């Protein structure tokens, strides 16, 4: 799902060429890629695209603040069978 | 204008926000006179009174600067305004001895589709919501958690049932965009009266609001001069007392007066009571460590660190609100053009 996620971020947040080189481990907030509204949009994208429901307790940087973390988190959610 | 910052080892106290009210008032009044008459070439001030402390203090300072004959108050409630708003605003205007023009802006907002657009976005989430329901949007507290804080819609049915749902980005942005009509309509009317009288529009943000981007661009963020934007809210309250404003203003808790359910500024945006936020912002601005401010605000060091991070995050997120229209190339013949100045 990483290419799909990168594509969403690039298109939704109008990111330029430099985004291509962003390491998967980089903080999306610290890199200035997303802000609080961006988190809202990212959560909506993940829920809709991957048919998962993200609970309030899961809205933490450990799950959502880098491409690597998002990939791991969504993968775990889908594997756990807690899809809607 | 505030006391000297304590050293890093000294614990912070509210005394850090002490001001000499007479001196601060005199400085603002002098600055207002100079800015309005010499830089703006205007002859007086228009101030929108919201019933809150900031606009009341601003109006009082304008009266000191320009006299009651050259200060105009505008009272512009709408369908969701608290009934107290108009009463308190009138009391302030009477206390200051200034003319107060009242215009209910509900018909204008109806014409823009403010309520219809906003309510449609709400009903997508709560389909059985009717006009009799009351609702607001809220932000979870910054204290005690590192979770991302996402806005939720809280609605109350006529029989007292409460529904809370997380706001998807599309609905959140639509609700805010529609609600922003309120601040923009008010500003349009402020400039109408300023234009016809050759007055300046005087903005009313305090330091926390200005710093943290708690305003609508081209709405309450627009003004010719913002005389209390350097003062912490605690200091604005002290000035209010000094300027002799009515008790009804001094006793009021800061609200947004924007949604049908009562909504504090704390739950909509700031996440902390203003006294705590003032001290945290002061400490952060003076590079004081979280350890120095934690005892004064009754928070853990970890929570103060969270507040510091939230202050920075809001500055980043709202930088755009402060920017003037940006030019691709400067127009050097006009002073300041093309520079990314804060407005």
How far apart, in whole angstroms, are the C-alpha atoms of residue B300 and residue B338? 44
A56 touches chain B (CB under 8 A): yes
Note the helical H segments in chain A.
Answer: 2-12, 36-50, 61-64, 67-79
B309 touches chain A (CB under 8 A): no
Q: Is residue B8 part of a domain?
A: no
Share of chain B above pLDDT 90, in %: 74
Contact A35 B149 (CB under 8 A): no
- Total of domains in chain B: 1
Q: Is pLDDT of B322 > 50?
A: yes
Which position has the token pair 């400067």?
B330
Angstrom distances, CA of residue A67 to CA of A2, A5, A24, B160, B309: 7, 7, 5, 43, 21
Q: Which residues of B touch A43 (CB under 8 A)?
A: 150
Report the DSSP beta bridge partners of residue B102: B75
- For the segment B4-52, what is each residue's pLDDT rounded down to a tens digit? 555 555 678 889 999 999 999 999 999 999 999 999 999 999 999 999 9
- Total of domains in chain A: 1
B150 touches chain A (CB under 8 A): yes
How far apart, in whole angstroms, are the C-alpha atoms of residue A68 and residue A64? 9
Contact status, residue B122 vs residue B171, Cβ threshold 8 Å:
yes
Which of A29, A37, A60 minimises the CB distance to B147?
A: A60
The reported pLDDT for the residue numbered B91 is 96
Q: Is residue B336 part of a domain?
A: no
Reported confidence tier of residue A13, pLDDT bands at 50, 70, 90: confident
A36 touches chain B (CB under 8 A): yes
How far apart, in whole angstroms, are the C-alpha atoms of residue B290 and residue B300? 9
Q: Is residue A31 part of a domain?
A: yes
B316 touches chain A (CB under 8 A): yes
How far apart, in whole angstroms, are the C-alpha atoms of residue B314 and residue B62? 30
- For the segment A20-35, what is each residue's pLDDT rounded down to a tens digit? 788 899 999 888 888 8
Reported confidence tier of residue B2, pLDDT bands at 50, 70, 90: very low
Contact A40 B316 (CB under 8 A): no
Q: Is residue A84 part of a domain?
A: no
The reported pLDDT for the residue numbered B336 is 61
Q: Is residue B64 part of a domain?
A: yes
Write out the residue range of the structural domain in which residue A59 sits.
Answer: 2-79
Q: Is pLDDT of B342 > 70?
A: no
Q: CATH number for the domain including A45?
A: 1.10.1200.10
Contact A64 B148 (CB under 8 A): yes
How far apart, in whole angstroms, are the C-alpha atoms of residue B90 and residue A45? 48
State ipTM. 0.84
Q: Is residue B342 part of a domain?
A: no
The reported pLDDT for the residue numbered B6 is 57
Q: Is residue B317 part of a domain?
A: yes
B146 touches chain A (CB under 8 A): yes
N-to-C CA span, chain B: 21
Q: Is residue A40 part of a domain?
A: yes
Q: Chain A interface, mutation test: which of B151, B169, B314, B317, most A Cβ atoms within 10 Å?
A: B169
Write out the residue range of the structural domain in which residue B238 sits.
Answer: 14-322
Q: Is residue B274 part of a domain?
A: yes
Q: Which residues of B touch A41 (CB under 8 A)?
A: 169
Q: Chain A interface, mutation test: which of B141, B146, B148, most A Cβ atoms within 10 Å?
A: B148
Q: What tokens were used for B303?
A: 């929570």
Query: For the residues A39-46, what does the mean pLDDT come to?
Result: 93
Contact B313 A36 (CB under 8 A): yes
To the nearest whole Å, the CA of A34 is away from the closest chain B CA by 9
N-to-C CA span, chain A: 18
B198 touches chain A (CB under 8 A): no
Antiparallel, parallel or unpaired: β B134-138 and B152-156: antiparallel
Q: CATH number for the domain including B245?
A: 3.40.50.620
Q: Which residues of B touch A59 (CB under 8 A)?
A: 147-148, 150
Mean residue pLDDT across chain B: 90
B165 touches chain A (CB under 8 A): no
Q: Is residue B97 part of a domain?
A: yes
B102 touches chain A (CB under 8 A): no
Q: Is residue B217 part of a domain?
A: yes
- Angle of helix B301-317 relative to helix A36-50, nearest 10 degrees? 90
The reported pLDDT for the residue numbered B8 is 53
């Amino acid at each position: 799902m990483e290419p799909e996620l990168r594509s969403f971020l690039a298109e939704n947040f109008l990111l330029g060429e430099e985004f291509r080189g962003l390491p998967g481990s980089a903080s999306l907030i610290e890199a200035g890629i997303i802000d609080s509204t961006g988190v809202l949009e990212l959560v909506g994208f993940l829920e809709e695209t991957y048919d998962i429901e993200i609970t309030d307790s899961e809205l933490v940087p450990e799950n959502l603040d880098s491409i690597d973390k998002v990939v791991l988190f969504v993968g775990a959610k889908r594997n756990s069978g807690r899809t809607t | 204008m505030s006391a000297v910052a304590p050293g890093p080892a000294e614990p912070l106290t509210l005394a850090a926000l002490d001001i000499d009210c007479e001196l601060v008032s005199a400085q603002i009044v002098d600055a207002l006179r100079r800015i309005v008459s010499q830089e703006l070439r205007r002859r007086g001030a228009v101030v929108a009174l919201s019933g809150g402390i900031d606009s009341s203090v601003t109006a009082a300072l304008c009266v000191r600067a320009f006299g009651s004959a050259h200060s105009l108050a505008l009272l512009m409630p709408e369908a969701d305004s608290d009934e107290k708003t108009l009463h308190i605003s009138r009391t302030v205007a009477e206390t200051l001895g200034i003319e107060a023009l009242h215009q209910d802006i509900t018909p204008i907002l109806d014409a823009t589709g403010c309520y219809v657009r906003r309510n449609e976005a709400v009903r997508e989430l709560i389909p059985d919501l009717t006009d009799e329901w009351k609702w607001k949007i809220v932000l979870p507290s910054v204290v005690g958690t590192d979770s991302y804080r996402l806005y939720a819609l809280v609605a109350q049915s006529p029989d007292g049932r409460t529904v809370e749902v997380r706001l998807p980005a599309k609905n959140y942005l639509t609700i805010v965009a529609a609600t922003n009509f309120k601040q923009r309509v008010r500003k349009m009317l402020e400039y109408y009266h300023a234009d016809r009288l050759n007055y300046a529009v005087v903005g009313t943000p305090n330091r926390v609001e200005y710093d943290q981007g708690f305003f609508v661009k081209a709405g309450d963020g627009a003004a010719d001069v913002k005389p209390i934007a350097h003062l912490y809210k605690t200091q604005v309250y002290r000035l209010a007392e000094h300027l002799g404003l009515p008790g009804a203003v001094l006793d009021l808790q800061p609200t947004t007066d924007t949604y049908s359910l009562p909504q504090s500024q704390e739950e909509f945006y700031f996440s902390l009571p203003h006294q705590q936020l003032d001290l945290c912002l002061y400490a952060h601005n003076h590079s004081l460590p979280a350890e120095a401010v934690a005892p004064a605000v009754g928070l853990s060091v970890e929570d103060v660190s969270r507040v510091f991070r939230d202050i920075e995050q809001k500055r980043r997120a709202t930088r755009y609100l402060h920017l003037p229209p940006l030019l691709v190339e400067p127009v050097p013949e006009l002073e300041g053009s093309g520079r990314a100045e804060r407005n």
